[in-house]
Amino acid sequence: MKRFLPGWRGITQLFAVTVLPLTLLLLIIAFGGVNMHQQDMRALVGERDERAVQSAAAALQSELHHRMATITSMAVLASKDISFNDIFATTNDLAKDFNGEVAFLNSDGHLIEKTGNDRFWGWVSQNPNLIKLASSSDLKPVFSDPVIDPHSNHLFVVISAYSETRNVIVAGAFSPEALASETLTPTYPAGSHVTIYLLDNSRRLLFVSGALEQESLEADHPGVMEALSGKSGVLYVKKDETEHVVAYSPIEAVGWALITEEEWEMVISPSLQLTQMAPLVMVPAFILALIAIWFGAKQIVQPLQKLESKAAALAWGDFEAIKEPVGGILEVQHLQQELTEMSRKVQAAQEGLHDYIGAITYAQEEERARLARELHDDTIQAVIALKQRVQLAQKLIKDQNGRQSLKELETLAEQTIENLRRLTRALRPIYLEDLGLVTALEMLAREIMQNNQLVVDFQKTGSERRLAREVELSLYRIAQEALTNVAKHSKATHADLTIGFDNSEISLVVTDNGNGFIAPNSPTEFAPNGHFGLLGIHERADLIGARLDIESTMGKGTRLKVRL
């Protein structure tokens, strides 16, 4: 026996010094990993739910704004000499957006015309004080509190806007439950563990769906007070033996609150079971990890990178880029499909907005032309006549002081005439109408250089050709706005204005050597960052189907290019 002790002692020492510590280390790593994994997954589920509820709230807000825009446009149409039935006929998607139908009422709330739902609108007409309707003091459409239709027992919200010209109110009713069901289903499909609550500002449930569905919420339910006060976030709440993730976000347009709730353990349990087996399957797990990394890089990361670049192009208005397939796993393909569908809806919305902006721009240019004509035909002529009378008076006055005063008055009249002529040219570029875009841009460069401490070099490349009136006017206004911004804000001493013509493209380029700025990543950042001039340039470029590119470096100037 003694002969075998050294061997057993070596094996025991080997086990005690290496195998046992390694085994304990693996167990510690395994259980520590499980705990860390639980915490990370808990945080991940919370972040996911917070992003999802914010996205869902934004989708609801977008749908509400869409309905507001519809009612506003009907109020605008009502100000014209158009019958109410014609207004109903020319407004799209009324039945889809307003399942409670649309009506016109007088300022006292009495019914004038409607598209349907006779009993509901009859009840509204008889009880106008029960529903908040827009009046002449409201500049924007007004949302009513949810009201119960006494005939159908359904909740409806009424959006109304006041038309001052006809002294009428246009109102549309929709079901918040139907709106929530239609809007939230893509984010929270049937069968998910998430329970959704939509509440109004009086804590009344407008919509509820999910595994934890209940008919009412307690006043102190987590997230309700925070969401109704305009905050968004996530809370972890202990309930019985489980912990729930409660995400909340406000819907600011109507003062509602969107709450989601789920057990986060329901999401991570399968992953934890696999994690607990990690010490037993270390080698296979390592091999599988390598395969997963390769698969993830090939089927997820690369397609997502392609999708990211296409999404960036989409942000700049390239709606065709997102349609090119990027491949990858089914989820990435579904994501691209959703982005494609979203881009289609955004494009449709932008087309409607562009029509509206185009109409405003056209009206603005017409008003500028009218003002220019009035200044030229009336004001300038009157000042010229005044100058001539001053000249006649100079010949009659013998007193030297009087003649000097009249001379100063004549000089002031000349300056006024020149200023009015410059203003007239800015309002109505006559060179553009008579001589074309190139000549108008050349004269614009000279005028900017004369009135500012800025050297502007104009250059034309390619063979000049006349373009459509609205295209030439948009390119001229873009150059005018760009050079005005350079003169006012960039502190530049030199600028270049170039118009280029070739067979497939027309380009307008404005560069300067000024201070430069941090160029926005997408047009959506123009207004929040105060770049309203760039926003106007982008809208004008969009109206004629041109693409705007901006390159700017702090301290090294800016380059703005419009390609048509």
For 435-480, give the DSSP string: H-HHHHHHHHHHHHHHHSS-EEEEEEES------HHHHHHHHHHHH
Supply the pLDDT for residue 5: 39
Q: pLDDT tier at 57 (50, 70, 90 boundaries)?
A: very high
Query: In CATH, what number does 41-276 get?
Result: 3.30.450.20
| pLDDT average, residue stretch 16-24 | 57
| Cβ-based neighbours of 146, under 8 Å, separated by 6 or more | 155, 156, 157, 176, 200, 204, 206
Query: Which region among 246-260, 331-345, 402-416, 519-533 has the lowest average model confidence (pLDDT)?
Result: 519-533
DSSP run (H or E) holding 70: helix 20-78
pLDDT at residue 278 greater than cutoff 60 = no
Supply the pLDDT for residue 473: 80
Fold of the CATH domain 431-564: Heat Shock Protein 90 (3.30.565)
136-165 pLDDT, tens digit per residue, is: 888 889 999 999 999 888 899 999 999 888
C-alpha distance from residue 180 to each of 205, 207, 311, 486 (Å):
12, 7, 27, 48
| pLDDT average, residue stretch 35-64 | 86
| pLDDT average, residue stretch 101-113 | 90
Name the region of 555 (left: φ>0; alpha: ψ -120 to 50; beta: rest): left
pLDDT at residue 2 greater than cutoff 50 = no
The residue that leads in pLDDT, 183 or 469, is 183
Block residue for tokens 């998607």:
93
In this structure, are residues 511 and 555 in contact, taking their beta carbons and an 8 Å threshold? no
Supply the pLDDT for residue 15: 47
What mean pLDDT is reported for the chain?
78
| pLDDT average, residue stretch 51-73 | 91
pLDDT at residue 116 greater than cutoff 90 = no
Task: Residue 269: name the closest of 38, 35, 45, 28 by CA.
Answer: 38
C-alpha distance from residue 280 to each of 29, 83, 268, 271, 284 (Å):
12, 78, 20, 15, 9
CB count, 10 Å around CB of 367?
Answer: 11
365-422 pLDDT, tens digit per residue, is: 666 666 766 666 677 777 777 777 777 777 777 777 777 777 778 788 777 877 776 7
Supply the pLDDT for residue 48: 86
Supply the pLDDT for residue 78: 84
How is residue 144 annotated by DSSP?
A: P
Q: pLDDT tier at 527 (50, 70, 90 boundaries)?
A: low
Query: Which region among 230-239, 411-420, 472-481 has the lowest average model confidence (pLDDT)?
Result: 411-420
Supply the pLDDT for residue 8: 37
Rounded to whole angstroms, how far apart are CA atoms 543 and 537? 10
pTM of the model: 0.46
